[in-house]
Amino acid sequence: MNDTQAYISPVWPSFTDIVAERGEGCYIHAQDGRTYLDFTSGIGVTNTGHCHPAVVEAAREQVGKIIHAQVNILFHPPLLRLADALREVVPGPLDTFFFSNSGAEALEGAVKLARHATGRPNIIVFQGSFHGRTNLTMAMTTSKTIYRQHYQPLAAGVFVAPYPYAYRYGWDAEETSQWCLRELRHLLASQTAPSETAAIIVEPVLGEGGYVVPPASFLQGLRQICDEHGILLVADEVQSGFGRTGKFFAVEHFDLVPDIMTMAKGLASGFPLSGIAAPRALMDRWLTGTHGGTYGGNAVACAAAVATVGVLQEGLVENAARMGEVLMDGLRALQSRVPVIGDVRGLGLMIGVEFTNPDGTPATELVKEVIGRCLDNKLILLNCGTYGNVVRWIPPLIVTQDQIETGLEVFAGALAASA
């Protein structure tokens, strides 16, 4: 740590002490002259790669025109262009947009919209979910106790149902899915009546909670339960969106059309921008003036987002699907040789590798060691999962086969050295 770093609040955990001078594609050039292969994408943000030229150019051009055209006062062209661009990629009925700055803000906004639209107070989230760190989203987040430690009691009206994490339960995927749906119905019968439940909020692929892909039957079951009871289904695509899973949005893998979708991270390639998408008829039930914000829909961020959507449409989503297969094959080959790798799962370039000790306990320390060794060899990886025993693979979607192979080689070397 250098002297100045001492003045940065220690509430931020530091996974590395790299000072990034410059980012370019899949690489971080550090101030000390080292170059790292970045397979974190800033936690799933720089899907187009660091400083994609089209995104840089769009932002640069917009900065010279107008930076802040506050949305309550003015419309600006990038805002309108972004709504048009998103209508091309978001599931059909979700044609109207609200913009804010962070993922948590989008989730808070989605819940406020659902409460207004239904007149109901409660919401249901899932075990292991991560929706943010603000007061309400903290109550919606159950991936780790650290996010709520010493902040309790949290906002009321949030109920938690199990997520079909088949590997954790040790059951067959379909059996887990049906059990979770039964438990959800039980929750609606025992804790929050359907008539008091505004929304069910789900990550279509569980992110921070361990990179878990649910069976389609689970998400379709949620759709059915919501339709039966007039509950709104919110898909949180903050991490799984913008091409990450090899489709523009993860819901497309499951033929799921939610009532509300939240997005952030990959939306603007690193500019702080988040959004809520919903059908116009639903947005019309959100009383004008009851929600908003100073910066949401910032002109530079929107210009970067329009460019981001354009870049993703030029083959990056397909590349994510293709490179995801290469990465998955490589990781599964490693799994067959390394018994501590208990599970390899994911969609596209959102892949989790779960480490389990021979006695069935999470191999948290080993994951820490492996990630540390990768860093020593200039590959940046992150972990996830309640116990931190899942290595998450989220390279930029521009990643090449050579870069994937380099990543796999470094990871295999780190595993061998740690075993």
Ligand X SMILES: Cc1ncc(COP(=O)(O)O)c(C=O)c1O
CB of 132 to ligand X, least distance (A): 4
Task: Tell me the sheet residues that pair with 97.
Answer: 277
Contacts of ligand X in 5-64 (CB under 6 A): 43
Please identify, among the stretches 55-63, 99-107, 159-167, 249-257, the one whose residues bind ligand X according to the rule CB under 6 A.
99-107
Under rule CB under 6 A, residue 236 binds ligand X: yes
Report the residue closest to ligand X, judged by CB. 103
- Between the alpha carbon of residue 66 and those of residues 75, 101, 292, 298, 308, the distances in Å are 11, 18, 20, 10, 19
Q: Does 104 participate in binding ligand X (rule CB under 6 A)?
A: yes
Shortest distance, CB of residue 219 to ligand X, whole angstroms?
A: 15
| Beta carbons of 379 and 353 less than 8 angstroms apart | no
Q: Which of 131, 253, 373, 392 binds ligand X (CB under 6 A)?
A: 131
Confirm or reject binding of residue 108 to ligand X (CB under 6 A): no
Q: Is residue 203 a contact residue for ligand X (CB under 6 A)?
A: yes
Q: Which tokens hold the place of 186?
A: 């039980």
Please give the Cα distance from 226 to 384 (Å, whole number). 29
Give the burial class of 10: count Cβ atoms within 10 A of its Cβ; 0-12 exposed, 13-18 middle, 19 or more buried: exposed
Nearest approach, Cβ of residue 140 and ligand X (Å): 9
76 counts as binding ligand X under rule CB under 6 A: no
Q: How many residues bind ligand X (CB under 6 A)?
A: 15
Shortest Cβ distance from residue 130 to ligand X (Å)? 5
Quick check: 107 binds ligand X (CB under 6 A)? Answer: yes
Pairwise CA distance, residues 417 & 403, whole Å: 21
Minimum gap (Å) between residue 186 Cβ and ligand X: 25
Among 48, 96, 100, 239, binds ligand X (CB under 6 A): 239
- Answer for which of 26, 161, 212, 238 binds ligand X (CB under 6 A) is 238
The answer to whether 36 touches 27, Cβ cutoff 8 Å, is yes
For residue 53, cis peptide bond before it (omega within 30 degrees of 0): no
The residue within the footprint of ligand X, chosen from 26, 37, 163, 208 (CB under 6 A), is 208
Q: Does 71 contact ligand X by CB under 6 A?
A: no
Binding mask 265-304 for ligand X (x = CB under 6 A): ----------------------------------------
* Interaction between residue 132 and ligand X (CB under 6 A): yes
What are the angstrom distances between the C-alpha of 67 and each of 61, 99, 315? 10, 16, 30
Residue 206's closest CA among 236, 244, 172? 236
What is the residue whose two structure tokens read 């080689």?
409
Contact between 331 and ligand X per CB under 6 A: no
Between 250 and 410, whose beta carbon lies closer to ligand X?
250
Cβ(374)–Cβ(411) below 8 Å? yes
Cα 274 to the center of its chain, rounded Å = 12
Neighbours of 242 (CB within 10 A): 30
Nearest to 415 by CA among 383, 384, 381, 369: 369
264 is a contact residue toward ligand X (CB under 6 A): yes
Is the separation of the CB atoms in 49 and 280 below 8 Å? Answer: no
| CA 392/CA 59 separation, integer angstroms | 30
Tell me whether residue 126 or residue 406 sits nearer to ligand X (CB atom): 126
Q: Which stretch binds ligand X (CB under 6 A): 27-35, 100-108, 226-234, 410-418?
A: 100-108
Stretch that binds ligand X, among 55-63, 98-106, 300-308, 331-339 (CB under 6 A): 98-106
Measured from the CB atom, the residue of 126 and 355 that comes closer to ligand X is 126
Q: Which range of residues in 24-32, 167-175, 236-244, 342-350 is near ligand X by CB under 6 A?
A: 236-244
Q: Contact region for ligand X (CB under 6 A) — 19-27, 87-95, 129-137, 168-176?
A: 129-137
Which residues of the chain form contacts with ligand X (CB under 6 A)?
A: 43, 102-104, 107, 130-132, 203, 207-208, 236, 238-239, 264
